[in-house]
Amino acid sequence: MSGRASREWAANGGRRRSLLGRVTAALDVVVQTVTSLALFSIVIINTVEVVMRALLNHSFTWVQDTNLLLASCVYFLGIALVYERNADIAINIVPEWLPRRPRLTLALVTKVAGIVTFVTIGYFGLELVQVQLPFRTPTSGIPNALYTAPLVVGSGLMALSTLRQFIDLAAGRENLDTAA
């Protein structure tokens, strides 16, 4: 067993991840890379902008639009990381008092509600992208649809991660105490 496979085996309580679990884990790595690069780009762009303003009294017209686009990527793709890692904030006062079976039912219903919510957001996000397609930002010409695209992708990723959590929880592969 390779080092990665043995770490995966240990991290999952001696069980191999499902295909969906492996897909969402791989997407997690891709999204983490994209959001890290977007955040790094924001820092670099703003540093260059500040230096250009201070030294040469020159400002780039595209900085504001680019920052907003990159920030949209960081936020809407970054929240997908939180959901994949099941690290969202949850108030579990009531579920802690429930016996195991009703707590499991509540967790599964919550996951279904999350999936429906994320799919709905993604659907209407796609509708908005279609409306925005002919329009561009006035200062830099970036297509307006690109600002909504991270929302659509992020909601799709969150729906996928929540579906994986639902399946793992229903199959007993996810700890009920950590399931939000």
Q: What is the pLDDT of residues 81-116, one digit of tens each?
A: 998 988 888 777 777 788 889 899 999 999 999 999
Whether the pTM exceeds 0.75: the reply is yes
Residue 177 lies in a domain: no
| Per-residue confidence (pLDDT) for residue 3, from 0 to 100 | 47
With respect to residue 156, please indicate whether it lies within any of the assigned structural domains.
yes
Residue 5 has pLDDT above 60, yes or no: no
Domain that holds residue 165: 3-170
Higher pLDDT residue, 125 or 99? Answer: 125
Residue 175 placed within a domain: no
Within a domain: 132: yes
Residue 84: inside a domain, yes or no?
yes
pLDDT attached to residue 65 = 96
Q: Please tell me what DSSP assigns to residue 83.
A: H
The total number of structural domains that make up the chain: 1
Residue 163 resides in a domain: yes
pLDDT at 179: 61
pLDDT at 133: 96
C-alpha closest to that of 78 among 7, 153, 164, 176: 153
Is residue 39 situated within a structural domain? yes
Q: Considering only CA atoms, which of 45, 93, 36 is closest in space to residue 66?
A: 45
Locate 147 and state its tokens: 């600002």
